[in-house]
Structure 1
Amino acid sequence: ASGQFEEDHIKVRARRYDDYLTGGSAAEGFVHLTLFLLDGRSEAVKHTLGQALSDAVRQALDSAAGTQITVDTRDMVRATYAKTKI
């Protein structure tokens, strides 16, 4: 919905962890998102995208009080990024 991507360019991978610590405690859950973007977007756009992802996860988990949600936005170097479809 951001207008930043074509749908077929979006990839989602999920990994579940049964053993973890957050803040030294295993009592509360977490969701960590890493958003990889080809470089060239402004800091404001990256911030908006990260916030939108965090908000979407929060809404999806509204009954999971105490869950930490973090987003790490990273640039991929466009000049060295490669993609091949076979």
Structure 2
Amino acid sequence: MPHCIIEYSAPLAHEIDIKQFVQLVHHGAINSGLFERSAIKTRAIRCGDYQVGDNHLGSFIHITIKIMPGRTDEQKQHLLSAVYDSVSPETTCVCSLTLEVIDINAAAYAKHLTCGH
């Protein structure tokens, strides 16, 4: 844990190196000091159909960080700050950058390892 999910407007792939951006989010989560490095999972989802306000050409990045419950609001804010600090230099071309931390419902979450990790 956590699951870092980056949703982004498709045209940003021409302005931002998405693989590098995934690494920046991942390193931000590592730099928070809240998780074991091996437990962090980061991925990006390209959104081809979207709208930002009234602007059909606006760009966005939304980063959702799903974590198991038990962290304090201060720890969650620290996590958001660590990720934001890591990615903000790369987002000057983005109209809307948003981040959120979501507690996973532990009773409705299952994890099965099949790769021997």
**TM-score w.r.t. length of structure 2:** 0.63
Q: 1:69 aligns with which of 88, 97, 103?
A: 97
Q: 1:83 aligns with which of 99, 111, 117?
A: 111
**TM-score w.r.t. length of structure 1:** 0.82
Alpha-carbon distance in structure 2 between the residues aligned to 1:17 and 1:82: 27
Alpha-carbon distance in structure 2 between the residues aligned to 1:2 and 1:51: 8
Judge conservation of contact 2:62–2:98 (CA < 8 Å) in 1. Answer: yes
Unaligned runs of 5+ in 1: none
> Which has more helix, going by share of residues?
2
Q: How far apart are 1:31 and its partner, in Å?
A: 0.4
Q: 1:21 aligns with which of 47, 51, 60?
A: 51
Alpha-carbon distance in structure 2 between the residues aligned to 1:8 and 1:51: 21
> Which has more strand, going by share of residues?
2
1:38 aligns with 2:68: yes
Aligned residue-pair number: 84
Q: How far apart are 1:67 and its partner, in Å?
A: 2.3
Q: Over aligned residues, Cα RMSD in angstroms?
A: 1.7
1:26–1:56 distance in 2 versus 1, CA, 3 Å: farther
Q: How far apart are 1:57 and its partner, in Å?
A: 2.1
1:34-76 Cα deviation digits (max 9, x unpaired): 11011000001101111222232221233x1x52110121001
Identity value in percent:
33
Unaligned runs of 5+ in 2: 1-30
